[in-house]
Homo-oligomer: A and B are copies of this chain.
């Protein structure tokens, strides 16, 4: 066996990418622990995230890299990148700039909670929605 990450970016080869060479990424707020969103990344997105220090994903709908906040300004400064036991899910621990992760204008995409058999919106819209920020 060769040593892991013996060359720059070698760490990304240890990630088990799934169909379409994408891996799911959970983004978590470093300040309050809130789960903000789940999106996807390819190798290039992971490498640019490491290099730039800001969260980069792969937009499946647009078929290209998605530099979070490139249009909205709500970038996510990455404090930690973590990998799970099966190496098939990545976690970005981020400091959100602007407190909005969701294209609906909410802090988190997980703004609906199951209550008595219904999905209930429990988190407020903090600014007008931005359809362009959708993954």
Interface on A for B, CB 8 Å cutoff? 4-5, 8-11, 14, 19, 24, 26, 28, 32-35, 37-38, 50, 80-86, 89, 91, 102-104, 106, 109-114, 117-119, 134-135
Contact = CB atoms under 8 A, between A and B. Distances in A.
Most chain B CB inside 10 Å of its own CB: which residue of A33, A85, A134, A135 = A85
Nearest to A27: B35
B11 A114 contact: yes
A112 B83 contact: yes
Contact of A102 (B10, B85, B106, B118): B85
Contact of A81 (B19, B102, B114): B114
Contacts of A11: 114, 117-119
